[in-house]
Structure 1
């Protein structure tokens, strides 16, 4: 790096150049930071900001974070549609039925919609409920307002069957 300095550079300038050269050494290749698949896990939040990911939590698994970054462009293409609501909830394992005011019987209040959510055996906590509301608010059409959220919780049951047989013979021993 000091070869780039002019011959009349001062000692201070040479020292600054040497220290700066050591500080610029990165543990990863800089081009890998722009790749969603190759970026270090600690850098994913910066990529999420760059790609304008709407839903983000640093506690999520890195694989889910990478998936959300990759799907961000698609989310922005369909944002404000019922498909956007379905897809954003599907990323977390939920299925939903989106019904607008004109599709209900009797016809509902104009500009409203109802949502029926299937948790598919996932646990429902207060945090889950808050997250669902936030995701729906981000993805829904801006001109629509949620009037009713129905959450269907289907317990996951593992049937247990036990079969037992018992056989016995009675043996009598006579002692003389």
Structure 2
């Protein structure tokens, strides 16, 4: 390897030249690294950081992480609008409808809004989901508007309700397996 450094170059400069020569010989496709849909998964958080993704959760699926990263620029262009809130939650597969204070009957408190959130399959309507939606909304909404309430609706009920009952009619009641009740 021929060097372009002068004869009086320091040890540090020569080491830096060798390091740079090795890094330039790496086969890296910039267009692949910069595309959230094609980049290797280990580099995706760095691409998200570069695009100023406001909310990141390691528990999200790979597809959700790629969607959030891909939509980050669009969210930042619309930041402070209902469109930004819809875009930010849409990247997670969540459908949302914002109801502004003037759209309610009677009219609500000025500068407030409520959200009707339709959760996709795989999301539970629990406290963790509520907090995640609230964090994403707060990072995308404008500062002057105040969030009223969030109504979470699961996409489909995955569990049937369990109903049970008991009747007391006598001094001793023995309950056996389903369908076989015997009273003494």
1:67-109 CA deviation, whole Å, 9 max, x = no partner?
2222112111222222222222222232222111111111111
Cα distance in 2 between the residues matched to 1:53 and 1:129 = 20
Superposed displacement of residue 45, structure 1: 1.6
**Cα-to-partner distance string for 1:6-63 (whole Å, 9 max, x where unaligned):** 4x35795797367535763675416343343443322222211211112222443333
1:86 and 1:34 mapped to 2: Cα distance?
A: 24
Aligned-partner Cα distance in 1 for 2:13–2:57: 44
Q: Is the 8 A contact 2:111 2:146 kept in 1?
A: yes
- Distance in 2 between the 1:21 and 1:107 partners? 64
What is the match of residue 124 of structure 1?
125
Classify 1:108/1:157 alpha carbon distance in 2 versus 1 (closer, same or farther; 3 Å): same
Distance 1:140 1:155 in 2: 30
Distance 1:63 1:18 in 2: 40
Task: Give SS of 1:3's match.
Answer: coil
Q: Which runs of 4+ in 1 moved over 6 A?
A: none
**TM alignment of 1:152-167, pairs within 5 A:** 152-153=153-154, 154-156=156-158
Q: Structure 2 matches for 1:1-176, cutoff 5 A?
A: 1-6=1-6, 8=7, 12=11, 16=15, 20=19, 24=23, 28-29=27-28, 31=30, 32-121=32-121, 122-153=123-154, 154-156=156-158
Q: Please tell me whether the aligned partners of residues 85 and 141 of structure 2 are also in contact (alpha carbons under 8 angstroms).
A: yes
RMSD (Å), alpha carbons: 3.1
CA separation in 1, counterparts of 2:118 and 2:84? Answer: 16
Separation in 1 of the partners of 2:10 and 2:118? 70
8 Å CA contact retained: 1:99, 1:113 = yes
Pair member with larger Rg = 1
Once the two structures are superposed, residues 144-174 of structure 1 have per-residue CA deviations (whole angstroms, 9 ceiling, x without a partner) of: 111122222341479xxxxxxxxxxxxxxxx
**Which stretches in structure 2 are left out of the alignment for 5+ residues?**
161-184
**What TM-score, normalized by structure 2, do the two folds share?**
0.68
Cα–Cα, structure 1 residues 27 and 57, in superposed 2: closer, same or farther, change >3 Å? farther
